[in-house]
């Protein structure tokens, strides 16, 4: 094992950062969204519902687009143009909270407003007036599945608000969430008509997956080329269930190992030996349960024994992540 150097540390820090990696499937969604944001304004702006399992890469796409269309100050007019507003759906479909959240997002928090000005109708007027001045082209709502936490009636009211905002402001509406939200959104027929669907399925054993792995490995700052066999690609799928976040975690973990050991590439052997972090934690959890620590809250002595079990596991499995 080589001694750590600043150069190595720098590469490891780069791997650990959440920098954007533009694999074709993600770029496709970005292109589609970019086409929408650049399209001429019309009364019924097209919208999109991007859905897929948690960890598939939806938020990364939304953040990437919002960086590309960050607010820009125009010195000629003295106006700051905000083409894209990226918001998270509130934890439950609450209109008032959503409006307050929008105000905070555009730097106009409602804290100074009177209680009366904070009722839903007044907030709505204020939000529309403020957003109209921003030159908005698109509103993106991430974690739109949060609306499932509400009753049917609350869900309908919240979807109504989304439709109203997009109509009033003549902006594209983009919703991102897990696929379970699709049915709820389809419940609002008018909104469903406006939103095209873009599904991001879990990765499967096909050319698209192998392209993505190649792009991902090529983005890792390793000195040598990694030539993986087809068997290893299948193994990656089996270990990760085809979820992007897990695939990235695996490749990043092995890349860091490759830097630390000096191998400088990802090998078939390393993949064969790799244990998912999530299953290591699951194993540790099972061992903790067996040691009699199920009951919460854990008393001090139980926590100490939990720590011992974890330490034993770390030593026996030699797994860096638990340390
Ligand atoms: N295009 C990408 N570039 C870099 N990392 C990505 C990309 N897409 C997904 N990831 C990785 O997967 C993780 C989960 O992605 P995220 O967008 O939060 O998923 P979702 O919003 O669908 O739950 C990210 O934190 C990142 O590590
Ligand atoms: Mg997300």
pLDDT for residue 119? 87
pLDDT mean across residues, the chain: 85
Kindly report, residue by residue over 74-86, the tens digit of the pLDDT.
888 888 889 999 9
Of the given ranges (53-57, 134-138, 220-224, 278-282), which has the lowest mean pLDDT?
278-282
CB atoms within 10 A of CB 16: 11
State whether the beta carbon of 243 lies less than 6 angstroms from ligand 1.
no
Q: Which of 55, 202, 209, 278 is the best mutation target for the ligand 1 pocket, counting ligand atoms within 8 Å of the beta carbon and taking the most?
A: 55
Distance 55 CA to ligand 1 centre (A): 6
Give percent above pLDDT 70 in the chain. Answer: 83
Give the closest residue (by CA) to ligand 1 atom 1: 21
Task: Please give the Cα distance from 191 to 230 (Å, whole number).
Answer: 43
State whether the beta carbon of 18 lies less than 6 angstroms from ligand 1.
yes
CA atoms within 13 A on the CB side of 140: 26
| pLDDT top residue among 277 and 245 | 245
Of the given ranges (59-68, 250-259, 280-289), which has the lowest mean pLDDT?
280-289
Q: Which of 57, 200, 247 is the best mutation target for the ligand 1 pocket, counting ligand atoms within 8 Å of the beta carbon and taking the most?
A: 57
pLDDT for residue 281? 58
Kindly report, residue by residue over 5-31, the tens digit of the pLDDT.
799 999 999 999 988 999 999 999 999
State whether the beta carbon of 26 lies less than 6 angstroms from ligand 1.
yes
Distance 214 CA to ligand 1 centre (A): 17
DSSP string, 69-121: T--EEETTTTEEE--EEEEEPPSS--HHHHHHHHHHHTT--GGGS-TGGGSHH
pLDDT for residue 114? 73
Q: Which atom of ligand 1 is nearest to the CA of 19?
A: 4
Distance 29 CA to ligand 1 centre (A): 14
225 three-state secondary structure: coil
Kindly report, residue by residue over 88-132, the tens digit of the pLDDT.
999 999 999 999 999 988 888 777 677 666 788 999 999 999 999
Q: pLDDT-derived band of residue 43, with 50, 70 and 90 as boundaries?
A: confident
pLDDT for residue 301? 34
pLDDT for residue 240? 96
State whether the beta carbon of 220 lies less than 6 angstroms from ligand 1.
no
**Residue 49 forms beta bridges with which residues?**
175, 197
All structural domains of the chain:
39-200 (3.40.50.300), 203-273 (1.10.8.60), 278-318 (no CATH)
State whether the beta carbon of 248 lies less than 6 angstroms from ligand 1.
yes
Give the closest residue (by CA) to ligand 1 atom 16: 57
Q: Which of 65, 212, 248, 253 is the best mutation target for the ligand 1 pocket, counting ligand atoms within 8 Å of the beta carbon and taking the most?
A: 248
Give percent above pLDDT 90 in the chain. Answer: 64
State whether the beta carbon of 17 lies less than 6 angstroms from ligand 1.
no
CA atoms within 13 A on the CB side of 285: 6
State whether the beta carbon of 202 lies less than 6 angstroms from ligand 1.
no
| 23 Cα distance to chain centroid | 15
Task: Please give the Cα distance from 282 to 318 (Å, whole number).
Answer: 16
pTM for the predicted model, two decimal places: 0.83
State whether the beta carbon of 244 lies less than 6 angstroms from ligand 1.
yes
């Amino acid at each position: 094992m080589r001694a750590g150097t600043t150069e190595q540390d720098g590469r490891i820090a780069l791997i650990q950062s959440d920098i954007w990696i533009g694999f074709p499937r993600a770029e496709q969604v970005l292109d589609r969204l970019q086409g929408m944001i650049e399209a001429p304004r019309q009364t019924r702006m097209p919208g999109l519902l991007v859905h897929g399992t948690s960890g598939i890469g939806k938020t990364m796409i939304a953040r990437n687009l919002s960086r590309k269309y960050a607010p820009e100050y125009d010195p000629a007019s003295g106006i700051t143009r905000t083409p894209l507003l990226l918001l998270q759906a509130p934890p439950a479909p609450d209109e008032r909270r959503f409006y307050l959240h929008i105000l905070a997002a555009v730097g106009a928090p409602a804290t100074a407003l009177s209680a009366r000005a904070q009722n839903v109708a007044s907030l709505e007027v204020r939000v529309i007036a403020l957003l109209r001045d921003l030159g908005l082209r698109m509103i993106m709502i991430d974690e739109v599945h949060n609306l499932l936490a509400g009753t049917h009636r609350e869900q309908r009211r919240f979807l109504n608000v989304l439709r109203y905002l997009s109509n009033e402001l003549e902006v594209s509406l983009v919703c991102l969430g897990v696929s379970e939200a699709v049915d709820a959104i389809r419940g609002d027929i008018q909104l469903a008509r406006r939103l095209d669907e873009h599904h991001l399925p879990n990765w499967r054993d096909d050319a698209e997956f192998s392209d993505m792995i190649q792009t991902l490995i090529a983005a890792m700052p390793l000195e040598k080329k990694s030539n993986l066999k087809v068997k290893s690609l299948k193994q990656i799928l089996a270990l990760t269930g085809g979820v992007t976040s897990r695939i990235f975690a695996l490749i990043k973990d092995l890349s860091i190992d490759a830097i630390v050991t000096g191998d400088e590439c990802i090998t078939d052997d390393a993949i064969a030996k790799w244990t998912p972090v999530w299953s290591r934690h699951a194993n540790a959890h099972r061992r903790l349960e067996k040691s009699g620590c199920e009951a919460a809250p854990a008393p001090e002595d139980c926590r100490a024994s939990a720590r011992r079990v974890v330490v034993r596991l770390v030593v026996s499995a030699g797994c860096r992540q638990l340390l």
